[in-house]
Structure 1
Amino acid sequence: MEDGQYIDVHLGLPDSNGNIEAYGSKLAANLPLMTSNGVQIATAYNMGTYYRIVFNSEAAAYTSGNNKLTLNPILRWENPQSQQLSISTNQSSTNTTNLGKIYVYQYTNDESKNGTLFAYNPTNDVTINGQHYASGLHIQGQYVYDKQYLDYNHTTTAGIFYNNNRVWGQIIVSP
């Protein structure tokens, strides 16, 4: 890596148009990225909905030749203190119905599953310079019944209505 080269890192689901539905829009401030011996070789810049990791002149010494650099940056999406996280911090395998905002809908022909929540493990929700990888996060999914409902709780009536007006004649009574 040379001075000024960068990597863009997005976290979210890509749609069919190549846009990314970000899991959150609250990113941490700019973060210095250090080697294991404490040399800063890059900065992760907050770009609004994604991070841009820009390498500096020190990076070449750690990334050229046979050097294999491993970075473990802690890039943060959303605010852990927020009351409305887009993704739950409880990522245990037993948490399938309290994972935050619903990102995935799956059709089902089982009416009893309609609206049921499930954990979804995306395989393409980290995008680094256009390449997709799995984050390992569990995100919220929901089943949607895809057949026609028969609603027995409503009655439908039909009828013909017409007006029938009668005109009364005058009766004159004489004394």
Structure 2
Amino acid sequence: MEIAAGDAGYGVYTLLWGLLATPFSLAVAIDFRGLARRLAKARPDQAEEAPRGSVRFLRVVGGVFTVAGAGAIVTGSHSVLQDRNLSGRIPAVPLPFVLLMAAALTLALVHDSRKGALGSAWRTGGRRRSGALLYVVGFAGFLAGLALGQVYALFASCVAAWTGTLAARSEPDTAERVDG
């Protein structure tokens, strides 16, 4: 099958999706450091245990996304390697759409900072606070990459947001303090 040069954006997107989805979904599927249990809770700082059914469901979904992500890595790599004219640019997303996404993202982050995992991570401090900050910066970089049409900026910001998510969701160290 011959892949046209216009499909380079598809190949980069598929490769990026696979590289981001596979490790995170694998961590959920194998319940690495209790990630599936923490994600199944309504709030990360809840004292009670998450329901077993929801943890099992998350682990199954994580397994499906792990397999799909591995397939996306293969498919995206093949598409990118077949394209000789990949420049690292994609068509820029129109500014009104980027502003609408920024407004929605801001509302979601404000809500999450008040009542969700982001606020809990910020109040805990230490590595979790750094993760929360990296998470927010990653999303801001993603919006900038969309507006400018830069594939590499999109990739770097997605990795930053993903890494920040893992750090913000991690268990606090005993040496980390909780701000009053």
Q: TM-score range by the shorter chain?
A: under 0.3
Considering Cα pairs closer than 8 Å and 6+ residues apart, tell me whether 1 or 2 has the greater RCO.
2
Structure that is richer in strand per residue: 1
Structure that is richer in helix per residue: 2
TM-score, normalising length from structure 1?
A: 0.26
